[in-house]
Chains A and B, each alone.
Chain A
Amino acid sequence: MTSPGFWRLVTVAAAVLALEALCRGGVIDPYTMIAPSQMALALLDMVRHADWFWADARYTFQNVAAAILLSIMLGFPIGLGIHALPRLRRVLNPVLLSYYSVPTFVFYPLLIVIFGIGPASLIVMGAMFGIVAMICATLAAIDRIPRVYNKVARVAGMSACETALRIQLPAATPHLFTGLKLAVAYSVIGVIAGEFILATAGLGRQLTLAYNEFDSPKMYGLILLILIAVAALNGVLQGLEARLYRRWYRS
């Protein structure tokens, strides 16, 4: 088996082993970084024994899920609305183009002042990161529907509703999915960054606590957990996206 996937696995495994060797060999001292195997053990121990673990994990998970839902369910209709109004789109264009150049987290203190410390400000923070990716993807997806599809719908005498459901939505799906993927990644970053900066609970909050208490096993266990979770989520979404594109281009 010499597929790219195999070599990718080999690369990651080699990097982990090298890190393990550097830590075990004393090149990296244990106060700076613990060996990957110890990180995994610390994570297992945390999942099994730490009394805070499930409550904080659920807190983060719920906030991330709410932020993703909010950015998709608001971003999609807002994108449709902006697309329907070309004048509005021209006015908003500079905002859409430069939105991600503004460090959004600078608004987090304001969100805390407005919504208080708690889930609401974290969810809004995550949704603020994710929503514009969804809006832009919705605009791009509609732009890219070939004009001939709409002509076919008109020739077939389809109603507007039927055209939207049976022609436009399927044609736009791959690009919409790309937006969804970005919205998910940005929402995760927004929520965890918010928890890390200032929060009363959540995995990001526990990470801050671990760092302040010089609790290396807990800190690296949490980092490993978040890395695995994000990589898994990303892998699933990338796989789904590849399948969608394949189906789209074949038909």
Chain B
Amino acid sequence: MKQRWSDYALLAAGLLALWQGAYYAVGAEALTPPLETARRLAALIAADGFWDHARATGIAFLYASVLALAGGMVMGVAIGASKMAHEIFAPILGTLYSIPKIMLYPVILLVFGLGLSAKVVFGAIHGFFPVALFTMGAIRNLPPVMLRTGRVLHLSWPSLARHIYLPACLPEIVTGLRIGFSTTLLGTLIGELFASSEGLGFLLSRAMESHNVPDIMALTLLLFLIATGANTIILAVEHRLQAHSG
């Protein structure tokens, strides 16, 4: 589906109109209108200490992403490589993916204590499962004819991996990485929301406690923009890869 700029403009206009309409419907105690939220966000970003919080979230997110993506891909390859292992472990991974991981938060805190490592681990367990599931699926769904071609050509293991597995699986793995990125961000933010003294999640939880609607709205807008921005970039990469391989 080809996107046109007019589509994005219509979408943005529609969302803003919806937001403004909701503001008129529920009033200033519940919502702040778009323009005021943008102004509040600008003030927040200019305020003292904002960048320290942003950096704290960024560092935790970075560590968590590396753990989730690397761990998930290794796990996915290990399970996807064998039909039997796939049949045994795929349903277990699927179930672990669908449990509300938020309830494991107390356990993670007890094991890792307050601080950076709990946030990182909590973020990583959110991203790990989608990456593992997509990597596994990519390898299992490889058309058998490709492997047969490789065998006919007497390819060695490294060149089999380089010329057949990697290009054939990459698009699907990138989809997994995109979903893994966003769930890792989600996990890291939830981690900060509950037991943290710094980070964007902490700012949000502080605004929640003091019932500061403009701050809640401004931070929500910021997180929304970060998440959709990152997603759009990875999505563009994904489309290029798919166009390339398809």
Residues of A that sit less than 8 Å from B by CB: 4, 7-8, 11-12, 31-33, 89-95, 97-98, 100-103, 105-107, 109-110, 113-114, 185, 188-189, 192-193, 196-198, 204, 207, 210-211, 219, 222-223, 226-227, 230-231, 234-235, 238
Contact = CB atoms under 8 A, between A and B. Distances in A.
A33 B185 CA distance: 27
A11 B92 CA distance: 10
Given A11-B88, A106-B220, A223-B107, A90 B228 contact: no
B100 A94 contact: no
20 contacts: A4-B88, A8-B91, A90-B4, A90-B7, A93-B7, A97-B231, A98-B235, A100-B179, A100-B182, A102-B223, A103-B227, A109-B216, A110-B30, A110-B217, A114-B26, A185-B98, A189-B100, A226-B103, A230-B100, A234-B94
Interface size class of B (residues with CB under 8 A): 35 or more
Nearest to A188: B100
B104 A223 contact: yes
B87 interface: yes
A210 B216 CA distance: 28
B119 interface: no
B3 interface: yes
Interface of B: 1, 3-4, 7-8, 10-11, 14, 26, 29-31, 84, 87-89, 91-92, 94-95, 98-100, 102-107, 109-111, 178-179, 181-182, 185-186, 189-190, 193, 204, 207-208, 211, 213, 216-217, 219-220, 223-224, 227-228, 230-232, 235
Nearest to A8: B88
Contact of B106 (A4, A11, A31, A211): A211
Contacts of B232: 94, 98
Nearest to A103: B186
Contacts of B208: 109, 198
A217 to B, nearest CB: 13
A103 B216 contact: no
Contacts of A11: 88-89, 92
A217 B236 CA distance: 48
Contacts of B99: 226-227, 230-231
Contacts of B11: 91-92, 94-95
Contact of B185 (A8, A103, A223): A103
A113 B213 contact: yes
Residue of B102, B103, B220 with most partner-chain A CB within 10 A: B103
Residue of B95, B204, B207, B220 with most partner-chain A CB within 10 A: B95
Contact of B95 (A106, A188, A234): A234
Contacts of B204: 106, 109
A33 B88 CA distance: 27
A231 B94 CA distance: 10
A246 B232 CA distance: 36
Contact of A105 (B105, B182, B190, B207): B190
Nearest to A214: B110
Nearest to A184: B98
- Give the 7 A-B CB pairs with smallest separation, nearest first: A101-B182, A4-B87, A101-B231, A211-B106, A185-B98, A98-B231, A103-B186
